Amino acid sequence: MVFHSDRFIFDGVNSESIGIMLVTVGENDVLMDYGIPFEYKLKVESSFGDNPFYTKEESPPEPITLDFCLTENRQAIKWSDELEKEIINWLTQDKFCEFISYDNPELVYYFRATKVTKKMTHQKKGILSVTFQPYYKHPVKKIRKDLLVEGERFTNINNECISREYVYPMLEIEANASGNVEILNESIEDSEPLVVKGLEDGEKIFIDNQLFIVIDENDENKFHKVNRHWLKLKKGTNKIKINGNVNIKIKCNLEIKI
C-alpha cells in the first residue's frame, strides 16, 4: 500500500461515506512502499578538462497503483453493478483530482486515473485496482490564512516549497470600511507593499499575484485599483504586514518533500 491509512478523500468525497477503503493485496512483509515514489535522473556532460558536469534531468512522476475494496463494518462485501459503475466513474475522471490520505490530512496529492483492473471472485467480492498518474512528484501543502484586520496586523507564513524560489499567493479581500489596504512582506529586503486603492465598504477583490489578475466578485477587471507591487513569498519564514480595515484570505499551495 502506498499509504498506511485505509481512509481517504478523493475529489472532495470521503471514502467512508460510500463504504470503500484502501487495501493491501499479497503483502506479507512488515515493511512496504510508502508515499509517492520519485527519482531524479542526472545528465552528464563533459566540461573543461574533461571533468564530468552533472545536471538534474526532469522526468514525470512515476504512476502508482491503489487497490480499493467495498466494505461494510470493515468486511468485504459484494459489488453491485450499479455501485461498481458509480465508483469507477468517481475515480476515473477526465482531470487531476485531489487525493487526501488520513495519514496526513494537511497534504494533498493530485491524481488522474489511467488504468482500472477488476479482481473479483465469482461472488463479486474483490477489489478495483486503479493506476494513477500523479501531477507532482511530491504532495502539496495548502496554506490558508483567514484574517480580520482592524488598522494593522501581522502574520507569518512558512514557505516550504521545493520547486520554486518564490511563491505568489492568491488574495481574497473584503473591505470593512472605505479606504486603501497595504500588504507588505517585511522578510524580503527592499520590497514594496502591494496597495489596493479606493476600496468601498463591503467591496470584494480577488488578486492572483502570479498571473497579475485583479477582479471583483462579478469577474469585472479591477486592475486599476492596485499598484502592481505583487506579493510574493521567499523560502523560509515570511512576515506579512497588513494595513487597512478588511477581512483577508491568503492562499497558496506549496509542493513539499516528505
Name which of 6-15, 19-28, 128-137, 156-165 the model is least confident about: 19-28
- Report, in this order, helix, strand and coil percent for the chain, each rounded to 5: 10, 50, 40
Whether 11 has a pLDDT exceeding 70, the answer reads yes
| Angstrom distance (rounded) from CA 126 to CA 77 | 8
Looking at the chain, the whole-number percentage of residues with pLDDT higher than 90 is 70
Confidence class for position 2, pLDDT limits 50, 70, 90 = confident
10 Å Cβ neighbour count for 162? 12
| Angstrom distance (rounded) from CA 157 to CA 227 | 23
Confidence class for position 42, pLDDT limits 50, 70, 90 = low
Owner of C-alpha cell 488574495: 171
| Angstrom distance (rounded) from CA 150 to CA 177 | 10
Q: Find the mean pLDDT for residues 47-72.
A: 76
Q: How many angstroms from the chain centroid is the CA of residue 207?
A: 19
Confidence class for position 245, pLDDT limits 50, 70, 90 = very high
- Segment 135-165, tens digit of pLDDT: 988 899 999 999 999 999 999 999 999 878 8
Are 207 and 213 spatial neighbours (Cβ–Cβ below 8 Å)?
yes
Residue 83 is placed in which grid cell?
455501485
- Segment 83-128, tens digit of pLDDT: 999 999 999 999 999 999 999 999 999 999 999 999 888 888 888 9
| Angstrom distance (rounded) from CA 145 to CA 256 | 18
Instruction: Determine the pLDDT at residue 29.
Output: 41
Average pLDDT, the chain: 88
- Taking CB atoms within 8 Å and a gap of at least 24, the contacts of 53-57 are none
Whether 34 has a pLDDT exceeding 50, the answer reads no
* pTM for this prediction: 0.75
